[in-house]
Each structure stands twice: as C-alpha cells, then as structure tokens.
Structure 1
Amino acid sequence: MSDPSDPATGERRPAASPRAPGTFRIGSIAGIDVLVTSTWFIVALLIAVTFAPRIDEVQADLGVLKYVAGFVMAVVLYLSVLLHEASHAVVAKRLGYGVTSITLHFLGGMTEIDGQSRKPRHEFWIAVVGPLTSIAIGAVAAGLWFVVPKGLVQLAVGYLAGANLLIGVMNLVPGLPLDGGRVLKAAVWGASGNQHRATIVAGWGGRLTALALLAWPIVMEPLFGLEPTILDVVLVFILGLFLWTGATAAMAHARLRERLPALVARPLARRTLTVPSDLPLAEAVRRAQEEQAGSIVTVAPDGRPLGIVSEAAVIAMPADRRPWVPVSTVARSLEDGLTLPATVAGEDLVLAISRRPAEEYLLVEPDGRIYGVLSTADVDKAFRANAAR
C-alpha cells in the first residue's frame, strides 16, 4: 500500500513523525528508511509453522530445519512486499512528494508519503504501481516454477508466485484502504473534480469489500462445498476489520479535510507588540495591555524578530520579579519552523503545525514584516468549530 493508503499497508503520517514503539530500522532504499514492526516476527513464525508440514512432504530429511526453511519463505515473501512498497515510494518521489519511510508489518507494508496527492493522475500512478509490481513478481516466479529444480526450491518459487499474484489482484479491489481504492478515488476525482467526494466513494467501496469478506466463511460451504476452519474465520475477521476501519477513517478524514480550506491563519492571528529583548518584563506587559495586544515579540535593534514571549511563562513569573527580569527570559527563540507566512491556510497550516509543534508561531508578510502571532490553541478551537459544522 501507499500512503496515500496502501492495500497491504496503511495510512499516511507527516514527514517528521516519530518512529512508533516496537519498530526497527533495517536499512534504506533510495534514502528512504525501511522499518520492520515487532508484529512481523509473529507473522514470520506463523508462516514457518504453517508451511512446515508441506516442506516435510517435499523434503522429509530436514527435521527441525523445516521451520528454518519456512522462516526463509516468510523473509522472501516480505522482500517481495518490500518491492511493492518501494515502487510506491519511487513513483511518489519522481512526482515530487516526500517519502518518510517504508514499514513492513503484520498485514503487509505501508509507505508513508508526505501530504495528499495534488492531482488525480498522481494518485492513480502512485497507487497502481504497487499491485502491478506484485503481479509482475508473481508472473516471473510462475515462469521460473517450470524451470527450477523440483523440491524445496520449486515449492518456494510456487509459493512466491501465488502469494504475489493474490496480493496484486486483491490490492486492485476498488475500496480503501487498498490500492484499488486509491485507483477508484483517482477516477472519481478526475471525473468530478472533487477529491473529498472521491474519497467518500472509495471509502464505501472499502466498506462493501469488508462486508463481502466477512460473509465469505458463511458462503464457503453452500457455494463451494468447503467447510470453513477456525483459522479461516479469524483471518477473515482480521482482514475485514482492517478494511472497515481503514475505509471509515479515510471517510472521516475526508470530511474534515473538506472543511480545512476555512482554516486560515491570518484572521486567527493575535495583535502583536514588538519590544527590545532587554526591556523589563513588567514594562513589556504594561505596554501590551495598553495597546490591547494579545502577544509580544522580542526584536533586535535592526527590527529583526528574535523570539515569541510565552504567555504561560509570563503567568508563571511572580509579579514582584517582573520589573527585574528582561522580557527575553520568557521568550522562545524563533527556531526553524516557528515562522510561517501570514497567508498559510488549510492543509498547509495543519502540516506546518504538526511538523514543528509549538504553542505560538510568528506570522510574517511576504516582505518579512511581522503580521502577528498565531496560537495553537486558537487554531485548535477554529478547527473544532469547522469540524462541528
């Protein structure tokens, strides 16, 4: 899957998101971190145990090494999943998107791409290349099955062919969070011009797919004469739950994103007073109250902004100490990411805040003039108000 969510993978996070607990870095591809979650080892062990009897049939003299052979099969399968995810990442980078990482986990993999697709064709190519890669791997492996030596190698190649063909075809099912859902989203987006509506349609595709999957154990016997096992029921439940929750989350996210354009930084900015950094705090507070300013910014003698005075730090400073400490004592330096254009809005505003969390941000005009200070609390309040409409 891609992030824009991927079928065997998942959902997207900002480029600066911290590594999740229980996640290990095993290398990189084209400068993109490749991570493995602890749940992968559970799947690898399950695959090793599941395939041990079949390996025993093909080569009975392995003994306990049949479990090692099964584990190797799991590694080979996930290497093909890695290629699936790498194809998403490479296409995304070629189209100008930042790619944070590739993660292999219990249900497959996830490629974390920074930001939403800008065009329907970008969404289409980033999504469709993954399933096509899996199908290509499966086709090559199927061809090799006829020429490799019989025995364990042929078993592994056949397993690789079947698994990748299944992954590729299943990922083309038109429902989020599968890659096929992204393809459907791109088609509806291109036809309607509305990305959010397209996500809702693809989300319903994912929900219907989940319901069909959950019904599979019920229809197995009457339609095909096969009695479902407990393992069939458990796997179907896990996959159905994954599809339903992923589709529902995508739909909810789309509804919120539809309201994001109404989230604009400029009208949310607080009126700002600029003061020298060595001015006593008491005098800075007095001037701010006199001018009814909601924030204070310290500046250098040449007018260059240096820091934003923390409202919480001012409140925490005892009143009897304020005349004796410079205002710079309670000001946060303007590090990278704390200065934003006054025109920032919508998704760009949310991403900027998520990349560099802080209580306040300095808003500046295109010519560098200070416009005001944006409080995260004010943004959160406006976001909740928009989401509630």
Structure 2
Amino acid sequence: MTDDRAPRGTTPRPPGTFKVGSVAGSDVLVSASWFLIAGLIAVITAPAIERAEPGLGDLKYVAGAALAVLLYLSVLAHEASHALVARRFGLPVSHITLQFFGGMTSIDREPESPRQEFWVSVVGPLASLAVALVSFLAYLVASGGLIGLAFSGLAWTNLFVGVVNLVPGLPLDGGRILKALVWGASGDTHRGTIVAAWGGRVVALLAIGWPLLTAKLLGGRPTVIDFVFAGVISMFLWSGATAALESARVRSRLPHLLARDLARRTLTVPGELPLAEAVRRAQEVEAGSIVTVTSSGIPVGVVNEAALLSVPAERRAWVPTSSVARTLDDGLSLPSGIGGEELIKAISARPSGEYLLLDPDGSIFGVLATSDVDRAFRASA
C-alpha cells in the first residue's frame, strides 16, 4: 500500500531519510522505517522461500530481503510515474520517498486543472497494474522455485496496490481521481476535495471490517494481527482524509483575503527625517504605516512597526527613520491586486512584517502588515 502523493508546497527533505539515487529528475529517498518493513517481509516470506527452494537455511532471510527490495522497486515505478506526469505538466517534484507504507511523491504545486489532477493521479495505479500483468506473464513462463515465487509475489502485490489505490477516497490516488471528476463537473476544486475526503473517511470505516469480509469470502477466522493491520490502515486513511478536509476548509477561506482590502494608509518621508517627526506626521494624517523614499520619490524602505516601537520616545528625535525601515529587497513589494493563495505564497516565500503594495502604474497603494493578514484570516474562520 502506498502513502502516495504528499501535500503540496515546498517540501524539504524529511528527517531520517537518505538519498539512494534519482529517478525522473527527482531524488529518491529511503526512510529508516523501510528497513523495518524490509525485515518484516524477510521474516514473513521465509517459510514460502524455504518451500520454493529447500535447503537454503538462513539464506532464506537474505532471499526475503532481496524480495523486499524487488517489491519496493515496483513501488518506485508507481511513484516515478506520478513524478514523470507531474513534470510533464510543469509541476515541480522535489523527491520520492520510500517508507513503511510504501512510497510518497512530493509535488510542490497544486495541479491547475482537473485534467492535470486526473492524469497525475491515475498513472500510479495504472503503473502498478502494468507491473502486475508483466509479473504474472513472467510467472507463467518461469520454471518455478525462487524466481517463480518472486514473480508471483510481484504480481499479487502490485495487483493489490493498483486496485486499492483506485478506491475513491483521499489520501489514495482514487480519491484524487474522484476529486478531479467532481472538480471538472462542478468547477470547484474545494468541493472536489471535500467529496473525496469524505469518501476516504467512509473507506477508513470499511477497512476496519475488512478481516471479517475476507474471512467470510475465503473461509477461516481472522487473527488479531489481521485486525491490528486493518486498524493501522483505517487510522492512516482517516487521518489523511481529515487532513484533506482541513486543507479544503482553509483554502476555501483564502479567496476572501485581498491585499487591497487589508492595506494600511501610508505616509512617505525622506529616510533622513527624524523618526519622531515621521511618527507625528503619520498620526496627523492617520496613516498606519511609513515608507521611506528617495529625493525623487522612489520607495526604498518600509518602517518596521516592531523596530519603531522598540525605540524609546525620548530618542526618536535623534534617530533617522531609515534606521527602523527594512530595505525593499525582492519579494517585499507586491501588486496591490494580489490575494488568496497567491498572497499566502508570496508572504511565505519572503517572510516580513510589512510589504509595500504597488498599483500597476508603479505608484504606492499602501502597506500590508502580516499581522493584519493573520487577523483577517482568523476572522474568516
């Protein structure tokens, strides 16, 4: 089973991982948890390996570990297909991580259309099903023994991964496919996420009863391990679906955040003007921010509110306003019409207390304070 695609955003390398190579232009990372699952696979498959190749002795565990590597190479094929199609659509992919639950492809930007969401999502399960088909055909012509066991294991595992990941519920690929379909039909990506996330919660509840269902269909009695495994999978699905619901709720509030509506009235002053005089003038015109400008009126800095308040009132007459102003480096000047997710991305990419807002003609519209953005976001909840 795969953890699959990670939440989007600029994704740093997860702690406890190391790079083993590169596929589809993306780093391939292996989590420390992979060694745990590899060891479990080696132990679980040891009896079957002993039956397929009698007399191996302790080497059966080595063969089991090799089988684990082979299985995770097929997981890598699943994840690499996500990465390849994402890159084809111009979506940046930071890395692929192999871990306990399978794999995860970290895509650093949301798809821009239902079509992109659909194809990036569906190729993973299709790749797994293709590996299952090829492995099954290879099994038919294999001479049995360890090779036949390996192809059989690959076929059944990838069939399971492919089918399960088509189940319509987040965080599975099938949930993203459902999201794309609802998004395409309704024109609302948030509605698509909500429908797919609730689908994931339903699947999580059904997963708890999976051992009972398989016991009824295949005979036998479910074991405690079966229920523990089902519980872990159910928790994984429920937490992923819940995170998707929260993300949709947050994103639905973002369109209400418009920089123009949150801008503070701004006073422009020369940088060498004493701070006390700049504050007096700002209070006189009821300006909530101060911008320093050159003699020709070009803005060069935004006064930082925290820095201003840290200067004692009795010293402000001797301190130039430029000393508490942050230079307008790249990213600190934003278009006045920016809003929603673009606004959040801009202030996340270049953290600051204040940003200068400019109209299309280059004139100063006002100053946007991060504290005002945070306050407006909380008020919209």
Common fold: TM-score over 0.5: yes
State the number of aligned residues. 381
Residues 66/334 of structure 1: CA separation in 2 closer, same or farther (3 Å cut): farther
Conserved in 2, the CA contact under 8 Å of 1:12 and 1:111? no
1:64 equivalenced with 2:58 (yes/no): yes
Following TM superposition, by how much is the alpha carbon of 1:72 offset from its aligned partner in structure 2, in angstroms? 2.3
Residues 67/376 of structure 1: CA separation in 2 closer, same or farther (3 Å cut): farther
What's the RMSD between the two structures over aligned residues?
A: 2.3
> Percent identity, aligned pairs only?
59
Matches of 2:317 and 2:17, distance apart in 1: 50
Match of 2:325 in 1: 331
Match of 2:114 in 1: 120
1:255 equivalenced with 2:249 (yes/no): yes
Q: Please, which of 148, 161, 164 is the counterpart of residue 167 of structure 1?
A: 161
Conserved in 2, the CA contact under 8 Å of 1:14 and 1:355? no
Following TM superposition, by how much is the alpha carbon of 1:379 offset from its aligned partner in structure 2, in angstroms? 1.1
Q: Which moved more, 1:301-310 or 1:186-195?
A: 301-310
Match of 2:6 in 1: 11
Conserved in 1, the CA contact under 8 Å of 2:293 and 2:301? yes
1:97 equivalenced with 2:87 (yes/no): no
1:212 equivalenced with 2:206 (yes/no): yes
Following TM superposition, by how much is the alpha carbon of 1:265 offset from its aligned partner in structure 2, in angstroms? 1.2
Following TM superposition, by how much is the alpha carbon of 1:10 offset from its aligned partner in structure 2, in angstroms? 4.4
Residues 20/310 of structure 1: CA separation in 2 closer, same or farther (3 Å cut): farther
What amino acid maps onto 2:265 in structure 1? R
Instruction: Point out where structure 1 has 5 or more consecutive residues left out of the alignment.
Output: 2-6
Structure with bigger RCO (C-alpha 8 Å, 6+ apart): 1
Q: Please, which of 372, 381, 385 is the counterpart of residue 366 of structure 2?
A: 372
Q: Which moved more, 1:125-134 or 1:195-204?
A: 195-204
Following TM superposition, by how much is the alpha carbon of 1:223 offset from its aligned partner in structure 2, in angstroms? 4.2
Match of 1:4 in 2: none
What amino acid maps onto 2:77 in structure 1? L
SS in 2 for 1:20: coil
Matches of 1:26 and 1:300, distance apart in 2: 53
Conserved in 1, the CA contact under 8 Å of 2:169 and 2:199? yes
Following TM superposition, by how much is the alpha carbon of 1:60 offset from its aligned partner in structure 2, in angstroms? 4.0
Q: 1:236-277: CA deviations, max 9, x gaps?
A: 111111111211221232233223221111111112223333
Following TM superposition, by how much is the alpha carbon of 1:132 offset from its aligned partner in structure 2, in angstroms? 0.5
TM-score (structure 1 length as normaliser): 0.90
1:145 equivalenced with 2:142 (yes/no): no
Q: 1:127-167: CA deviations, max 9, x gaps?
A: 11111111111111212223344322322222122111111
What amino acid maps onto 1:31 in structure 2? G
Residues 129/315 of structure 1: CA separation in 2 closer, same or farther (3 Å cut): same
Matches of 1:30 and 1:328, distance apart in 2: 49
Matches of 1:324 and 1:83, distance apart in 2: 66
TM-score (structure 2 length as normaliser): 0.91
SS in 1 for 2:313: coil
Instruction: Point out where structure 2 has 5 or more consecutive residues left out of the alignment.
Output: none
Conserved in 1, the CA contact under 8 Å of 2:8 and 2:110? no
Q: 1:336-367: CA deviations, max 9, x gaps?
A: 33322211111212222333333222222223
SS in 1 for 2:360: coil
Residues 315/239 of structure 1: CA separation in 2 closer, same or farther (3 Å cut): same
SS in 1 for 2:163: helix
Match of 2:315 in 1: 321
Matches of 1:224 and 1:342, distance apart in 2: 64
Q: Please, which of 279, 286, 292 is the counterpart of residue 273 of structure 2?
A: 279
